Structure 1
């Protein structure tokens, strides 16, 4: 126990120097995070489990996605005291997730050791140049849908919202590359305009020449496409209200929110009977049960005579309106809510606009 506490303090100290660099911590921690990571009879591990989780929070570490064997250690016993635990894992910070969004590790079957080998699978490091923002003109590219499909077909382990955010992060590099290939749109518009003026001059000096007429027509198409892309980009960026230093302010702001959220995490709770619950599912159920009793109970069963409210109410819902409000949400409702948002509205903290979700809805919907 004392050696583990020294390790926890060391990790918290090292984390102060890894705020701006990718950091991965891996190996045998000799501690579990949750009761679900133990199979078999074990002693009281609540203190060790709590200290391990507090260390992970204070160090700003996150679990790296894992595949393979869930339990990574076995006591190699065939007696009733057969015990399995998940003692080995890999943890990362947010900078690692930004640089290597597709990385994960695999837990293999134990062989010569009583611990499972852990194999890290990485991907190409991404050089990020400030906060990512999606430009809606990229949806007009023929490479847009294939690029989204390639990333979205990857299998990522985790809850649905976590999977979506990881895939969106992985798409950042794809769209940065597409944007680089487009070049400076304003400069391209000026070039296309110059080509068009040159073609018109040639046509006027060679009236009736079919070749020059075709050249002018092609230059008109190129200029129209370039101008359309530039117009889409300028309209969207005007809504974004870009300002000097905005990237840094946004990054610090959302980092502080993440730190504040992780600090408010509740690891255990004691119910009315004095029983302490540490399993995440039990903690959640205890909260729900408490507020159901607080806000519900017998009072929810009291019948209110609507006639007493009618003289003072200007608008009353009929039974049909009430029934429609109580219906569960459908995929069509979600799609309508997304498609009601204008495409050039300012994006959220992940940098993706509603225009992206509309154009990629057949894949990401």
Structure 2
């Protein structure tokens, strides 16, 4: 926030030259060099009045609230307000940064010390006597869920255990000092005894809350007798074998909760567990198992390879091994992988390999969410416009023009292979040999024909016939050479023309190989980059070899 005493744009002044002055040009170059841009603002535009009491005072915008990319990305909702200047010649500027933190309820976690508190048994007994209709597992889960709000209130009444211990410790020290000064006072002795009992109880509560038992010793090597029915004694023995501070499920209840109330809730919990072994299914509320399958397995079980085809085959083999492991796990445990709740996510994977993996693991293909930066670009930069045909703004940040300037070099290498035509722009994407139709069809002509800038290829074809006006083929003879595509149920494919002139499926790697700066291979390349290198370590070594590492000597 600063008075720069010079305007940035021509429309920032009511009186002045129609050309950019030297001061304005230097100011703009300074702003662009520092990668600064105006913060989103509202209120008055002209925030300086040369002669507030005169009828002929010049109005200018010389006060600005500007920030760099880091600030704008971290505080996306920040904005400035320029208020009326009243008796001053400058407007007051207020920068508001809304809080980005969202208050969320913490996950429930049962504290074992509550078991020993007065009223705990009554709360559970009252909640467990509630009559519900449904499967045994549903009844148990529903009752545990209803108990959480009452147990939260009971734990809240006891406050912060650590603060309570510290407070009682100070009060006990003070009471014992008073007793030492007046050993014959009955009231002082009673206060000391009361505080001592309260302190011991608080220390015990804190110990029960923080105590952690050792972990269980893994799984049995063989699943013996898992085909016979599970008895109630086995369920109880399994529950009592779990450490008191271990949680048997994601609901936050520890095993001590179930042990201390087994006489009240044990029968229903046992029936719910027995139902699982009978039907082999879990409710969604208690089934939170997550499996992540991907290329992380390759460095662990497969040697590296520089051959792309061999690399993809190794991915295929690793997925096959995972599928066999899941089948073996199902055979001895009885647990079946939930196909409807399983999804496979792919990034930079060829369509052939993707089809092979989906044939082995019959999961639904999931869509990776857009990053925050991508969402911000769509909302604030593109605003519904096509990336390939957007003007480079003069007052934009440093990074955004750099991205836009790349399009002149790469846009001619993209080609859309039409499948269903729903993901290809009819005007801006290159999907025919004639090139993007926007090269000769103007937006006005497009709108006059009833189309818009968001029209896709599927929107301009009906019954294998073009939907555009017949007059277009007279105005633009190139259209007569374009045959309507035959649609399928597959998604459109983006193709990329490499440096050798061959067309293949688009990948970020292919584009990077085209636009990156190439230099001669250095002698120390194998020291930094090798098959088993750790990326973080390799980057530090690369800085060291280029003498760019900020060591103490460099800092001095």
TM-score bracket for this pair, using the shorter chain length: 0.3 to 0.5
- Quick one: higher RCO (CA 8 Å, sep 6+), 1 or 2? 1
**By percentage of residues, which structure has more helix?**
1
Q: Larger Rg: 1 or 2?
A: 2
Name the TM-score, length of structure 2 as normaliser: 0.26
Name the TM-score, length of structure 1 as normaliser: 0.40
